[in-house]
Amino acid sequence: MAKVYAFLTEGFELVEALAVVDVLKRASIEVVTVSIMDKKNVLSAQKVEVVADTMFADNDYKDADVLFLPGGPGTKGLEAHAGLAHTLKMHYAAGKKLAAICAAPSVFGHLGFLEGKKATCFPGFEKYLDGAQVLLAPVRVVTDGNITTSRGMGTSVDLGLEIVKLLISEEKAKELAASTQYAD
């Protein structure tokens, strides 16, 4: 079974995180929400408290198929976490998949992962996608190699379906889109 780790920090975008988690779980992909805070209860940008499954230090992430970063004001916290940066670098160096949405693709940009790749982000964050060929509207999700990026809350389901397509199949992604009334 495929496994995805979703990293949460204070100020994460609620729908960006949980819509992706929901879509992946509907596809029977194992998803583990990870607090990079000093507690499991993490407050979203919308002031909704979410209890993460685990704490950052309690995992080694070697079993991860995808590491996922939701966006929002919490992106600064994701980028400042040295352990997460190290984990992302190791995962990237191993050629494994990474995904980010909204402002969070900037973390990949600053780590040098987007050099020569196509990527997207929330409008206004293009300047932080160092070295990337930035694609904006009407593009909703971009996968280039092992990096998948998406624009924001309104593209959260698209990102979840893209990860399903990458980890399982395009057919499964289409089936989920239809069964959830996302697409006819």
Residues with catalytic function:
102
- Structure token digits, residue 184: 């006819």
Kindly compute the dihedral angle of the four CA atoms of residues 107, 112, 116, 120, in this order, to the nearest 10 degrees.
0
β strands within 15-107, DSSP E: 30-35, 41-43, 49-51, 54-55, 66-69, 97-101
Establish whether the linkage from the previous residue to 138 is cis, with ω within 30° of 0: yes
Return d(Cα 149, Cα 122) in angstroms, integer.
10
